[in-house]
Chain A
Amino acid sequence: MISRKDIVNILNLVKIGDHSVNDSSNLIDDGLLDSFSILMFVIEIKQKYDVTVSIESDVHKIFRTADSLYIHVKNEMEEIRNEN
């Protein structure tokens, strides 16, 4: 199962700018992520965990912090597991 730390590690891999991502970072508003980084994040998750995370709407809400993103990814993974 993916952990909060895993999410932060992936975010640090795909982020732009020179600040590190921490639990309180505001990912989009602080300029840590752009659309390219978001796309890279989803692809990294797919590659590392073989899970397709979809973000149909509320990108700003989901990518507000590492924590909100972690909750979304965890929910998505659970949903996929239940479907299977």
Chain B
Amino acid sequence: MVCTRNYNLSHSFGDIVSAHGNNSAICISDKCHSYIEIDEISTKIANWLDNQGVRCGDVIALPADKTFLIYSIVVSCLKLGVTYSFYESSFPIYRLEKQFNVLDPQLIIYSKDEIINNFREGFDLIELSQIEAELNRFSSKLNFNRNLVTDSSIAYVMFTSGSTGEPKGVAISHKNLINFIDWIRHDLGICVDDRITGLNKLFFDNSVFDIYASLFTGACLYPVNDNIINDSGMLFDYIRGNQITVWFSVPSLIVYHLTLAPKQSKSFRVLKKIIFGGEGFPKNSLLKLRNITDGNSKLLNVYGPTECTCICSLYEIRSTDFDDVNSDKIAPLGYINNNTDYIIVNNDGNRCGPGETGELYLGGSLVGRGYWNNIDLTNIQFIQNPFHSKYRDIYYKTGDLVCSNDDNIIEFISRSDYQIKHMGYRIELPEIENVLLTHSEISEACAVYKKTNDLGVISILYAGKIQEEYVRSYLVERIPSYMLPKNIVKLDSLPKNSNGKIDRRQLYEV
């Protein structure tokens, strides 16, 4: 048998460079960089990393800065078979420390001194500007054999909230991403003519789409920084001026602009595709968006857990979805991708029939490799297909309770646990509780999430000797700002149910 080459993301990127080398790959701050340019720079960086002793199979931590150099380092990692993982420099040191301890990187690249001074001991650190300064000493021809990188090599580790209080790192392979890119091209129809927004923060799972839907299809990525994202005037000037064709964000960002800037929001109609995912889209706001776009733009709802390479299902919004606009129902998750298998399992462990609610298990080529440095949790969440034992057939238990109709359209019902989606961010409420319980003066704590007017609010109820303002300060130093509660309520003790556990239902009423 002739062994064909092992096709990895380095080959995939090489194919795009060969076919569309002179096309713009990334445009940042009015400067566009071609595929040939990013190919050359990323090869230099890969040679530089190799010179630093970073090898295939190693892992590096990268600041989540939307700069040309950072995107180039991502491509260089893929060429070298090095795993990359983004971190947000503005996160509390407490949180970053936990993330780095799980990741155990060979190298941390940093751009902000004040943050990284806390990690001088125990980690190898290199400043981004140092790489930039040394790059010209390195060749733009590969000094190593890229065929050594296998398709099962881990491309990235994406961190997400963990219920124990420790962030979880999800490991996604080259093979997962090659299948994801294939779906983006064929099912989503992204092509070389597309100009794609880079609205999502790089430490957030949705950014996986931004990077791989652009740099690996021949389209062009337009990263957008926070000062533009939150200003409707600036953002829509940017969208119109750059003739952006594809938008991808959490629904919250669309709702933000629809609410704050009704006039500017009319520019949503210049987009060919408006893709949203990461949380449910409130129906009233979705109807507003549909009325603005009025058939000019495709409105696409996507769904997928971080553990299954960003997106596993797609649903194109139809006019019939608004037959009952007052219903609390959000848009359906839609049809599961062709490259993904799924089972809906009820409480008794049996397959659900149409209309029956159960937990969604996802299998197939997008299922990631598990949790980085956490085999025990991987074995709990990534399991053998419960309906056969003929061969290895791994499914990810999503914790999402769903049901499907006769047309195989999947609808989200609720969560089976205390995970929430807040502004698209995935948060395990027990993570906040466990952080609070590390304080010696807090005896009990419970985090609850309540929605009013389509806006969800995290509240903390606790029992202990310290006052509310100290609880807030304690959390500010330990969890990212998007996880911070709006309300903090001190009680003498938290109500319990008949099993002696905290009665969350009663706390919602408090």
Measured between beta carbons, the chain A residues less than 8 angstroms from B453 are: 43, 47
Distance in Å: Cβ of B56 to nearest Cβ of chain A: 39
Contact A56 B455 (CB under 8 A): no
> Does B294 count as interface, using CB distance less than 8 angstroms?
no
A16 to chain B, nearest CB (A): 5
Does chain A have a CB within 8 A of B414?
no
Question: Which of A36, A38, A54 has the most CB atoms of chain B within a 10 A radius of its CB?
Answer: A36
> Which of B18-26, B258-266, B338-346 lies on the face that meets chain A?
B258-266
Is B484 positioned at the interface, with any CB of A under 8 Å from its CB?
yes
The 8 A CB mask of A1-36 against B (1 = contact, 0 = none) is 000000000000110111000000000000100111
Chain B positions within 8 Å of A38 at CB level: 230, 256, 260
A51 interface residue per 8 A CB criterion: no
Are A55 and B261 touching (Cβ within 8 A)?
Answer: yes
Contact with A along B59-91 (1 / 0, CB 8 A): 000000000000000000000000000000000
Note all chain A residues with C-beta closer than 8 A to B323: none
Closest to A55 in B: B260
Residues on the B chain within 8 Å of A55, using CB:
232, 260-261
Main secondary structure of the interface of B (DSSP, over half): helix
- Chain A residues near B231 (CB-CB < 8 A): 57-60
A35 in contact with B472 given A56-B264, A59-B230 (CB within 8 Å)? no
Known: A36-B252, A43-B453. A57 touches B481 (CB 8 A): no
**Contact (Cβ within 8 A) B469 A56:** no
Interface residues on B, range: 20 to 34
Asked whether A54 lies within 8 Å of B233 as measured between CB atoms, the reply is no
Q: Given A35-B256, A60-B227: A54 and B476 within 8 A (CB)?
A: no
Residue B157 lies at the interface, judged by CB distance under 8 Å to chain A: no
**Bound Cα distance A31, B234 (Å):** 20
Contact of A56 among B229, B233, B486 (CB under 8 A): B233
Q: Could you say which residues of chain A place their CB within 8 Å of the CB of B253?
A: 35
Report A-chain residues with C-beta under 8 Å of the C-beta of B229: 35
Q: Which residues of A sit under 8 angstroms from B486, Cβ to Cβ?
A: 13-14, 40
Nearest CB in chain A: distance from B501 CB, A? 30
Contact among B232, B455, B476 with A43 in the assembled complex (CB-CB below 8 Å): B455
Contact A42 B259, beta carbon cutoff 8 Å: yes
Residues in B neighbouring A59, C-beta threshold 8 A:
230-232, 260
B276 vs chain A, min Cβ distance (A):
15
Given A14-B486, A18-B473, A18-B476, A43:B233 Cβ within 8 A: no
Report the minimal beta-carbon distance from A63 to chain B, rounded to whole angstroms: 9
A80 located at the interface, meaning its Cβ lies under 8 Å from any Cβ of chain B in the complex: no
Q: Judge if B135 is at the interface, Cβ distance under 8 Å.
A: no
Residue contact A39 to B255, C-beta cutoff 8 Å: yes
Task: Give the chain B neighbours of A43 by CB distance below 8 A.
Answer: 259, 453, 455
Which residue from chain B places its CB closest to the CB of A53 in the assembled complex?
Answer: B260
Choice from B260, B469, B473, B476 contacting A42 with Cβ under 8 Å: B260
CB distance B261 to A56 under 8 Å? Answer: yes
Q: Are A54 and B261 in contact (CB under 8 A)?
A: yes
When the two chains form their complex, are residues B256 and A40 in contact, meaning their CB atoms are under 8 A apart?
Answer: no
B262 surroundings in chain A (CB, below 8 A): 54
Q: Does B142 contact A (CB under 8 A)?
A: no
Chain A contacts for B481, CB-based, 8 A: 16-17, 31, 34
Task: Give the docked Cα–Cα distance between A25 and B339 (Å).
Answer: 51
A66 vs chain B, min Cβ distance (A): 18
Inter-chain CA distance A58–B261, complex, in Å, is 11
The answer to whether B502 has its CB under 8 Å from any CB of chain A is: no
Q: When the two chains form their complex, are residues A39 and B469 in contact, meaning their CB atoms are under 8 A apart?
A: no
Query: Is B270 on the interface with A (CB-CB < 8 A)?
Result: no
Q: What's the minimum C-beta distance from B447 to chain A, rounded to whole angstroms?
A: 16
Residue of B227, B260, B473 with most partner-chain A CB within 10 A? B260
Residue of A nearest to B425 (CB): A36
A55 to B232, CA, bound (A): 8
Task: Report how far A56 CA is from B231 CA in the complex, Å.
Answer: 8
When chains A and B are docked, how far (Å) is the Cα of A42 from the Cα of B232?
14
Interface residue from A14, A16, A47, A57 paired with B261 (Cβ < 8 Å): A57
Chain B neighbourhood of A14, CB < 8 A: 486
Closest to B90 in A: A31
Given A55-B261, A60-B227, verify A18-B469 contact (CB < 8 Å): yes
Contacts A/B (CB < 8 Å), 28 sampled: A13-B486, A18-B473, A36-B423, A36-B482, A38-B230, A38-B256, A39-B252, A39-B255, A39-B256, A40-B486, A42-B259, A43-B455, A54-B260, A54-B261, A54-B262, A54-B263, A55-B232, A55-B261, A56-B260, A56-B263, A57-B231, A57-B233, A57-B264, A58-B231, A58-B233, A59-B230, A59-B232, A60-B227
Which residues of B pack against A, CB within 8 Å? 227, 229-234, 252-253, 255-256, 259-264, 423, 453, 455, 469, 472-473, 476, 481-482, 484, 486
Pairs A-B, 9 closest by C-beta atoms? A57-B233, A59-B231, A56-B261, A18-B472, A18-B473, A55-B260, A35-B230, A18-B476, A39-B256
